[in-house]
Amino acid sequence: MTIIKNLLGGSLLVLGLLAQPLPAAEQRQPIHFADLTWESGSLITELLRLLVEKGYGYRTETLPGSTVSLEAALARDDVQVIGEEWAGRSPAWIKAEGEGKVFALGDTVKHATEGWWVPEYVIKGDPERGIPALAPDLRSVADLPRYKAVFSDPESPEKGRFLNSPTGWTSEIVNSQKLKAYGLTDSFVNFRTGSGAALDAEISSSIRRGKPVLFYYWSPTPLLGRYKLVQLEEPPFDAEAWKTLADARNPNPRGTRSMPARLTIGVSAPFRAEYPELVAFFEKVDLPIALLNSNLADMSEKRLPPRQVAERFLREQPAIWQAWVPADVAARVSGGL
Amino acid sequence: MFPQALHYSIADAVNRFVDWLVLYYGDAFREVSDHLLQLVAGIEGLLRLCPWWLLLALVGGLAWHASRSWRRAAVLVGLLFLIGVVGLWDKLLQTCSLVLVATLLSVLIGVPIGILLARKPLARRLLMPLLDVMQTLPSFVYLIPVLMLFGLGKVPAIFATLVYALPPLIRLTELGIRQVDVSVTEAAACLGANRWQSLRHVQLPLALPTIMAGLNQTVMMALSMVVVASMIGARGLGEDVLTGIQTLNVGLGVEAGLAIVALAVVIDRVTQGYGDPAQRDGRIR
């Protein structure tokens, strides 16, 4: 009994001591950036943080979280900046933007895209690695039913496997509707991958082993900079057809390419009011996608920390980022590197 | 700060090892994976073949047999019926077959290892830290390499479930066997029982309540891995929880979450019923 009493008493004492109020912070609060876990997100976040810290002299910090919880945190101003926001995609974002709690700034990466991809060796073969061309005439999504055996699904071998995006992403709905629109529901399994890590692991493992794989993917990403991939052709973009794809309940969707993505920097309303100079800078950010992809591929292949890649980018590509900020800020950044 | 001179990272070596494993043994692992997959698909097909009312009747019968209480059986059947009402019957079957295969494998692996640990102190000293690792290592750390080797879907999910859910069964089997009174085993030996007979007819029956408590814990932990399983492409109730979380659809998440809880309650009551002999004989209701 005494042991239990000691245990309870001890726990209570420790908790009591720890729960003392912290001395109030006198300084200005640091700017909280969302700690995005995917590669382009983390690289862009580190680029922005470096420029804000070295150029404008503000302290910054990051807070981790899932995309949806970070968007919710931005609306409450718990996080002030989300470095890569696919504006207008998630319902949580649209709601918060409608209420004026969050703002999407700039157009950070132009020509960002999403679609269905296969490795190049599936179409052309790879004599060096001894891989035959398994689907030589595969050009567009309409050719897929002919090649369902190539992408055979081990769980139901009579169908092909299409790796959809992780459960719960907006693109998962679009891809499921596209499968219907292209008449592929009978020949392909709509395989939801559950998480981005699982999707990446399956793709990299297949490519490393030289096996055919059909998957949804998007750019900017290291995967597109790293491997030779071919995007399957889809009908040209049509806004009306896109609406039928984005609506999960529409029974008769029509096929079209995905809506061109607009990548922005998401900021909270109080941040926008407090830091007008940073807002002006964020609106000018413009990263060329090919350069970004190659940096991402390098970062992922050599497993470099994003901050190191960001510093290198600032050193090597001054022409690009110096156009975003005033000359005095650019000089301070260059001096600080 | 920790001195820079003492920094040493094993990350690169581990990365190279995994790359090498995938490149040279990836296809062999996939074959093993396909065999296991057929087993799961077979059980799932069997469950799907049964009409829903037959499955409910079977669960009701099992619950009654375990506890001899009609009221309890009715409540448990009612819970499963409610899962069907909210439209999650198909996902329930998928989750069930996953948990079932994981549990069967756990018993096949866990009970013999538990017996071994109870008899060999050296094995116990060596394996106990490993069990700690299995229970605490964040699952995605070993899941991603497993995923690259075995492919997406149910097989890595079963693997992850095994790693996480096996330790309690091993620990409690070991505890149960060790707690059997020495005088009882000595008496059995005096009466001419050999080691196998003593284990089979004396130690295991006496340790059964503890082993069943371990099995119960294993099933509960297997169910708690359902959401992680859905993060690596295994379908089932976890998928709806994940969708609910990722799209802020709290209602959907709660529905699927409660369905997992209901399934857990059903399995818990049934296995506990079998683990508690007093309850089974009808002395306690």
CA atoms within 13 A on the CB side of A200: 15
A273-311 pLDDT tens trace:
999 999 999 999 999 888 888 888 888 888 888 999 999
Locate the chain A residue with the closest alpha carbon to B26: A209
B153/A205 Cβ within 8 A: no
Q: Cβ distance A126 to A107 under 8 Å? A: no
Sign of CA dihedral B241, A196, A220, A67: positive
Q: Report, in angstroms and rounded to the nearest whole number, the Rg of chain B calculated over CA atoms.
A: 22
Locate the chain A residue with the closest alpha carbon to B11: A303
Beta strand pairing status for A102-105 and A263-268?
A: antiparallel
Mean pLDDT (chain A, rounded) = 87
A194-218 pLDDT tens trace:
888 889 889 999 998 889 999 999 8
| 3-state DSSP percent of chain B in helix, strand and coil, to 5 | 85, 0, 15
Quote the CA–CA distance of B209 and A73 in Å, as a whole number.
Answer: 48
A170-193 pLDDT tens trace:
788 889 999 999 999 999 999 988
A166/B248 Cβ within 8 A: no
Q: Does B12 touch chain A (CB under 8 A)?
A: yes
Q: Does B151 touch chain A (CB under 8 A)?
A: yes
C-beta atoms surrounding B124 within 10 Å = 14
C-beta atoms surrounding B102 within 10 Å = 28
pLDDT at A1: 64
Quote the CA–CA distance of A92 and A79 in Å, as a whole number.
Answer: 15
Mean pLDDT (chain B, rounded) = 87
Max Cα distance, chain B (Å): 69
Q: Does B247 touch chain A (CB under 8 A)?
A: yes
> pTM of the prediction?
0.78
- Contact list in B for residue A208 (CB cut-off 8 A) is 19, 22-23, 26
Residues of chain A with pLDDT under 70: 1, 20-27, 89
Reduced to 3 states, what is the DSSP secondary structure of residue B247? coil
Average pLDDT of the residues in B6-35 = 87
pLDDT at A144: 92
B128-154 pLDDT tens trace:
999 999 888 888 888 888 888 888 888
B231/A198 Cβ within 8 A: yes
